[in-house]
Amino acid sequence: MQIVEGGLEDIRVTGTRRLNPKYVRSRLAIATTKPLNRFKLLEALQLLQLNPLIQNLSAELSAGSRPETSLLEVRVTEADSLRTELFADNGRVPSVGSFRRGIDFRQANLFGIGDGLNLKYTNTEGSNAFDLSYTVPFNPRNGTFTLASGFIDTNVVEPPFDRIDITGDSFYLELSSRQPIIQTPTRELALGLTLSRQQSQTKIGGEEIPISPGADEDGETKVSAIRFFQEYTQRSPQQVFALRSQFSLGVGLFDATINSDPPDSRFFSWRGQGQYVRQLAPDMLFVLRSDLQFASETLVPLEQIGIGGFQSVRGYRQDQLLTDNGWFTSAEVRLPVLRAKDIEGVLQVVPFVDFGLGWNGSDNPDPDPNSLVGVGLGLQWQMGDRLNARLDYGIPLTDVDSRNRTWQDNGWYFSVNYSPF
């Protein structure tokens, strides 16, 4: 009696246009080693089906040229990898103009190897920002390298500070590596490392003046940091649960800002973020979000956590609290009130409650008040993947000094995202 291990003779991939067939073949090959396990193969096919580069796929396993081998034929229908999004909202800090507009261009398969390019331009009355990132996979287990960079120039336009010509510019550069270590159709755990560099400078009337905490005599703040992050996602047809943790270690390398007293580039902090989304009924969702940061010492403003405003505690202006440590949580229910099936449209009423708390290290006093509570109601219109528009009204339950000058100060927030193609 002879026992022969079954294996694959070949993996044939058809139907690809822009995507290199090797991208699909390599991700199936790691699940089809001898002896051939059909459950592992099915899981690999399910993972490919979840890949945003693939719209649909079908597979057929047939007999090979030898009795102990099989032939796997995979037919792929690619998803559109090009996406352009126009957006507008009032989520910027009022000092540089709260009304923000911009364009976001993404090509998720630039050279056919699953590499992605992202270009983004954002503008307000007193700021211009440009962000660029490029991501390339380096193994068939979806490990990636990402190079990201961006700059922003600002001009304070909020009275009465607009009279003294306060300008600023900042720049960042990041090199990241991310590797999933557990990856199934319902779960993913990934680890990553980021090397980052941030620089900012402020001027008054064209003169370099250190008005930002931790800045040197030329008004510059330079931060070099090593960041270790962990990401976990669990999904089912009814819910999605996502967590992200990041440890940041500031170092004094590459001419980073070093002061005799903090804050400077030497720090240690941890930031944790989480989101839970549960489908209660068709188009009815419960959404819970949270963001938490702890720091071992006083931080420069580039590393602090902002609490209040758009996508934070509504009812207050953006970054009402800017502190070393902070906690934010938000809960909302999206209730459908109108459906337009012909255009894939749904209108939702969204009651929400937000809470935030911020505090500083021992060297700096805490803001007063240091907690924010807001409740309110939103209205959201969604039309497939093309259009999402939302208007929120937040009622502040904590008394703070407010100028009542902007929409944010009066509790109003809006966002519009439109993808023409």
Task: Give CA–CA dist 272/294, Å, rounded.
Answer: 9
Q: What is the pLDDT of residue 414?
A: 98
φ and ψ of 44, to 5 deg: -65, -40
* pLDDT at position 132: 98
pLDDT at position 71: 86
Instruction: Report the C-alpha gap between 358 and 367 in whole angstroms.
Output: 8
User: Which residues make beta-bridge pairs with 123?
Assistant: 101, 128
Q: What is the CATH number of domain 7-78?
A: 3.10.20.310
Helix/strand/coil for 96: helix
CB 54 within 8 Å of CB 74? no
> Is the overall model pTM greater than 0.85, yes or no?
yes
Q: At what angle do helices 38-50 and 21-29 cross, to 10 degrees?
A: 140
- Domain range list for the chain: 7-78, 304-421
Q: What's the rounded Cα separation, in Å, for the pair 361 and 371?
A: 16
Asked if residues 171 and 156 have their Cβ atoms less than 8 Å apart, the reply is: no
The position carrying tokens 């255009």 is 343
Residue pLDDT tens, the chain, 421 long: 344 456 777 889 999 999 999 999 999 999 888 887 888 889 999 999 999 999 999 988 887 777 777 888 999 999 999 999 999 999 999 999 999 999 999 999 999 999 999 999 999 999 999 999 999 999 999 999 999 999 999 999 999 888 999 999 999 999 999 999 999 999 999 999 999 999 999 999 888 888 889 899 889 999 999 999 999 999 999 999 999 999 999 999 999 999 988 899 999 999 999 999 999 999 999 999 999 999 999 999 999 999 999 999 999 999 999 999 999 999 999 999 999 999 999 999 999 999 999 999 877 899 999 999 999 999 999 999 999 999 999 999 999 988 778 999 999 999 999 999 8
Reading across the β-sheet that carries 54-63, which strands appear in turn? Answer: 7-14, 69-78, 54-63
CA distance 308 to 103: 25
Among 174, 189, 186, residue whose Cα is nearest residue 142: 189
Rounded Cα–Cα distance for residues 84 and 105 (Å): 5
From the number of C-beta atoms within 10 Å of its C-beta (0-12, 13-18, 19+), residue 187 rates as middle
Nearest-angstrom CA–CA distance, 149 and 128: 14
First CA to last CA distance, the chain: 61
What is residue 401's predicted lDDT score, i.e. its pLDDT?
A: 85
The confidence score (pLDDT) of residue 8 equals 78
E strand spans, 252-370:
268-281, 284-295, 305-307, 321-323, 325-340, 345-359
Does residue 322 contact residue 306 with C-beta atoms inside 8 Å? yes
